[in-house]
Structure 1
Amino acid sequence: MSLGTGCKHEWGALLSAVIVTLGLSVATPAIAQNDKMAAIATPAQPNAIDLGTGPLPGATVKESWHSQYGSRFARNVTVATLTPFLPDPAKANGTAVIVAPGGGFTTLSMENEGWDVAKALAARGVAAFVLKYRLNQTPADLAGYETAMRERFSGGAPPRPSPAEMTARIAPAIADANAAFALIRKRSGEWHVDPNRVGMIGFSAGAMLTMTTTLANNNPKPAFIGEIYGSLAPVTVPADAPPLFVALAADDPLMGNSGFGLIESWHSAKRPVEFHFYEQGGHGFGMYPKKTTSTGWFDAFTAWMTMHGWIKPAA
């Protein structure tokens, strides 16, 4: 079973509105990169802003980082931050996007699904903000992390929690996402952002966080949302649901065979939705270069944004 580049030990997440399942799987990298996890020092993040949601309740393990596939990942995040990637003022168009990396709520693919996405958006004139949200605690050392995950899922998928239970389980991350929206809108003048044009895009677990945040009783909702290899489980779509962009690979072993309920839900509610179902790409492709058409998801996403008028100067 291949999860695609970047997901071999990211514990690819089978994340839907009602289930989170992490799996340790073997994959063949699409490009020559080291697939072994190695502990690294926490990188400097001078522009990261504490979101003020407080330390993770009951946390005893400190934040740590590791490298894999030439990318960097965070674990045991206990304090949420938001890192701005602001465009050249000459290119700025007033639109902002919160970027939520994935990793099954036990790790965050900060580079491939965070910083690299934000840099690419900023190059298009979009103010991007990488959300480092609080995670479930795992063993401090990588070997212990691997062992814990194997033991946790050796008996197969855990029982499916209800939507309410799932929301409770990721409550800190939801609070972090809501705080990110509030901060961007509060400082919109400073960052040259239109507070009515703040969207969100998430990857895998980050896609689940994006959807859960959107469906919550928040006001105002995101201006638009993107789900990249997230769950396609059907949902109840509110009348004010924002336009939705979805990208998924047909050979994604976690999400590729889950049906198209989410797309049908959005379409039935007569809300705008665009869906790209790539033949190949696996899970976790993000911004990694691959010889599959899934690599074109970012250009498709920004073309969709342009079609809706979000990538042009604000009126």
Structure 2
Amino acid sequence: MKKLALALMLPTLSTCALAQNVLPLWPEGVPGARAIGPERHDNGRIANVSEPALTLVGPAVDRPNGTAVIVAPGGGYVRQSADREGTQYATWLSTLGVTTFVLKYRMQEFGHPAPLQDVLRAVRLLRSRAAQFHLDPDRIGVMGSSAGGHLAASAGTLFDHPLGRTGNALDKVSARPDFLMLMYPVITMDGPAVHAGSRKALLGANPTLEAVQLMSVERQVTPRTPPTLLIHTQADASVPVENSILFYQALTKARVPAEMYLFEQGEHGMGMRDGLANASMWPRRAEEWLRSRGLLTPSATSATQAK
């Protein structure tokens, strides 16, 4: 509880401080680059992204434990809730010794497969530069909320898909995350549980059946999908809880280690909000899950790199 309270009390990192820790995803040039006008920032949200990047939030402890989490904020592939579902999560994870990278990814202006390319490039980039950031290259996870959860789940299921490659040398580096943390995620692109807004923003108004099936990520789960934590609520009126259930069922069928918490209270986009009964305690459950998987124990690899 003390760590969670600390995360909630820590001030939001200043724009200046964050700017000093920004890593462009595509320094050689964004694939399919196009002029879409300036990036928009409003009340902690980002829209109209054309230059994907990672923002580093380092551990708030003496030494990192070697675990890294790429955080993909939600927003229906239209915008990104960068503060509530990005920086706030990163600040909490920092108290656990985790090195966090908040992902700013392309959205509706580019459509599929641009977001997939961005998240897989993020995994490849961190794995290739693990020594620089004192990371264990086998402890790189992706966390996402809502549409960001769909992006994280896409990374965990489509990490070898040709659409995630761009011909760069980094394509040779594994893009498979080592674990997933999915907060009220969009999962399916079809059926009664679909979040129509996310589907339209990602796949267009009239997507092909092939695209719908591919990006219904519950259909893409295999035994190679990484261990996954799912958190959702009955009260979510935007992205039905069935999305998490569908993914959990697919993981179980494929014998992938998975843990799921379904809470009664908590509207969509709840983030780390207080006053939601048991749902407000999800960070405690997530910490327990990370600890049980050995992801909060100092890594021998990171300890060697730090010397």
* TM-score w.r.t. length of structure 1: 0.71
- Which one-letter code corresponds to 2:62 in the other structure? A
* Structure 2: stretches of 5+ with no match in the other structure: 1-13, 161-173, 189-217, 301-307
Aligned to 1:99: 71
Kept in 2: contact 1:51–1:81 (CA 8 A): yes
Asked whether 1:255 is paired with 2:239, we answer yes
Give the deviation of 1:313 after TM superposition: 0.7
Aligned to 2:49: 77
CA distance in 2 between partners of 1:135 and 1:66 (Å): 16
Asked whether 1:222 is paired with 2:213, we answer no
Asked whether 1:239 is paired with 2:245, we answer no
Equivalent of residue 137 in structure 2, options 195, 211, 215? 195
Give the deviation of 1:79 after TM superposition: 0.4
- Which one-letter code corresponds to 1:244 in the other structure? T
Aligned to 1:10: none
Equivalent of residue 118 in structure 1, options 61, 83, 90? 90
Give the deviation of 1:134 after TM superposition: 1.4
Asked whether 1:63 is paired with 2:39, we answer yes
Aligned to 2:105: 133
Give the deviation of 1:257 after TM superposition: 4.9
Asked whether 1:176 is paired with 2:104, we answer no
- Which one-letter code corresponds to 2:138 in the other structure? N
Equivalent of residue 269 in structure 1, options 250, 254, 260? 254
- Alignment length, in residue pairs? 240
> CA RMSD for the aligned pairs?
2.0
Aligned to 2:23: 49
Q: Percent identity?
A: 30
Kept in 2: contact 1:113–1:203 (CA 8 A): yes
Give the deviation of 1:92 after TM superposition: 1.5
- Which one-letter code corresponds to 2:58 in the other structure? L
Give the deviation of 1:226 after TM superposition: 0.9
1:270-299 superposed Cα distances (whole Å, 9 cap, x missing partner): 110100000010100112333332221122
Higher RCO (Cα < 8 Å, 6 or more apart): 1
* Structure 1: stretches of 5+ with no match in the other structure: 1-41, 138-167
CA distance in 1 between partners of 2:52 and 2:181 (Å): 21
Give the deviation of 1:56 after TM superposition: 6.2
Using a 3 Å threshold, how does the CA distance of structure 1 residues 257 and 48 change in structure 2: closer, same or farther?
A: closer
1:188-221 superposed Cα distances (whole Å, 9 cap, x missing partner): 1111100010001000010000111221143351
Using a 3 Å threshold, how does the CA distance of structure 1 residues 236 and 180 change in structure 2: closer, same or farther?
A: closer
Aligned to 1:165: none
Aligned to 1:156: none
